[in-house]
Amino acid sequence: MSLVTLSDVLQPALRDGYAVAGLVTLGWEDMRAYVAAAEAEDVPVILQAGPSCREHTPLPVLGKMFRHLAEAASVPVVAHLDHGYTHEECRTAIDSGFTSVMFDGSRKALAQNIAETAAIAEMAHAAGVSCEGEIGFVGYSGGEGSDGTDPDEAAQFASETDVDAMAISVGNVHLQQDKEGGLDQARIRAIEAVTQVPLVIHGGSGVPVAQRTALARGSKICKFNIGTELRMAFGQALRTAVNADPERFDRVQILKETHEPVVEATRRVLQAFKGA
């Protein structure tokens, strides 16, 4: 069984100079491909159930799917709740077999974010589960703007919440389809200087690949969340499969043809996070 916690995979990454990919799942086809890619690259992987995934599939079902894949995997697999917004949602994930929960209080005032995140971290730790928190709001491409992380607030947040990982806002944006941007390295260094907690970048699809590799090897950023670029790879593979034969209607046969393209796209993602 290769089911592990977030802390189990991030602490070695922090020590040895690499990062672990938090891969945003939407269904069985992509999560299965993600694990196959991680096995091919011989690296750990974090399977993430975000809000849109949870709208489609209930947490207890997702927990069983993640655990089933992890138990058969040859590499460490984390079952992670991404962007949990309430104490109850995080509790449900823990009860459903998740090994890591991310509470997102980044839209809240600092004191409230700290208080709520600390309570969820305490609950998670009591259950043997890791907790990720977020300080500084990460915006959305074409939507809400970001509010960058203040280093002093990050130090306070890390100290007072006891989180195992801290998501930060340093120029990253959710749902970005291109890689033309880049992260604010000066802000990253300022945050690193005042905390020892493994750092997390949400919206990793918008980060240039060379910068991903450089930061994985030379910073305290130990986790990059990747969703959009792999959803794009899945969508392209699905479109190709559907268009190849307009008469086909069996979705099992159609979806089979997404597997290898998504595995290959995922392998390229994972390769960028390996150490020197």
CATH number at residue 155: 3.20.20.70
**Position 116 in a domain:** yes
Residue 132 near residue 113 (C-beta atoms within 8 A): no
Could you give the dihedral angle defined by the CA atoms of residues 264, 141, 89 and 7, in that order, rounded to the nearest 10 degrees?
A: 50
Which structural domain, as residue segments, surrounds residue 128? 3-271
Q: How confident is the model over 186-228, as pLDDT tens digits? A: 999 999 999 999 999 998 888 889 999 999 999 999 999 999 9
pTM higher than 0.75: yes
Using N-to-C axis directions, what is the helix angle for 28-41 and 259-271, rounded to 10°?
A: 50
Q: Rounded to an integer, what distance in angstroms lies between the CA atom of residue 54 and that of residue 62?
A: 8
Catalytic site residue 82?
yes
Within a domain: 265: yes
What per-residue confidence (pLDDT) applies to 144?
57
- Give pLDDT, residue 161: 98
Contact 219, 198 (CB under 8 A): no
Binding-site residue ranges for Zn(2+):
83, 104, 134, 174, 202
**Cβ atoms of residues 161 and 114 within 8 Å:** yes
Rounded to whole angstroms, how far apart are CA atoms 42 and 56?
30
Q: Would you say residue 209 lies in a domain?
A: yes
For helices 110-126 and 87-95, the axis angle rounded to 10 degrees is: 20
Q: Point out the least confidently predicted range of 45-49, 91-95, 119-123, 177-181.
A: 177-181
Is 35:69 a contact under the CB 8 Å cutoff? yes
pLDDT value, residue 188? 93
* Integer Cα distance of 16 and 91 in angstroms: 32
Cα–Cα distance for residue pair 172/201, rounded to 1 Å: 7
Residue 266, SS3 per DSSP: helix
Q: How many domains does the chain have?
A: 1
Numbered residues of the known binding site = 83, 104, 134, 174, 202
Write down the residue that tokens 């927990």 correspond to: 63
> How confident is the model over 155-184, as a mean pLDDT?
82
Is 32 domain-assigned? yes
Q: Which of 8, 42, 82, 95 is catalytic?
A: 82
Sign of CA dihedral 167, 168, 174, 180: negative
pLDDT at position 176 is 60
Tokens of 30: 């992509």
* pLDDT tens track for 69-115: 999 999 999 999 999 999 999 999 999 999 999 999 999 999 999 99
Report the alpha-carbon distance of residue 153 to residue 128 in Å, rounded: 27
Mean pLDDT confidence for 235-240: 95
Look at residue 27 and tell me if it is in a domain: yes
β-bridge partners, 76 = none
Asked whether the beta carbons of 8 and 79 are under 8 A apart, the reply is no
Q: In the predicted model, what is the mean pLDDT of residues 248-273? A: 95
Contact 262, 237 (CB under 8 A): yes
Mean pLDDT of the residues in the chain:
93
Task: Name residues whose C-beta falls within 8 Å of residue 33's C-beta, 6 or more positions apart in sequence.
Answer: 258, 259, 262, 263, 266
Residue whose token pair is 């939507």: 143
Report if residue 276 sits inside a domain.
Answer: no
Answer yes or no: is pLDDT of 260 > 70: yes
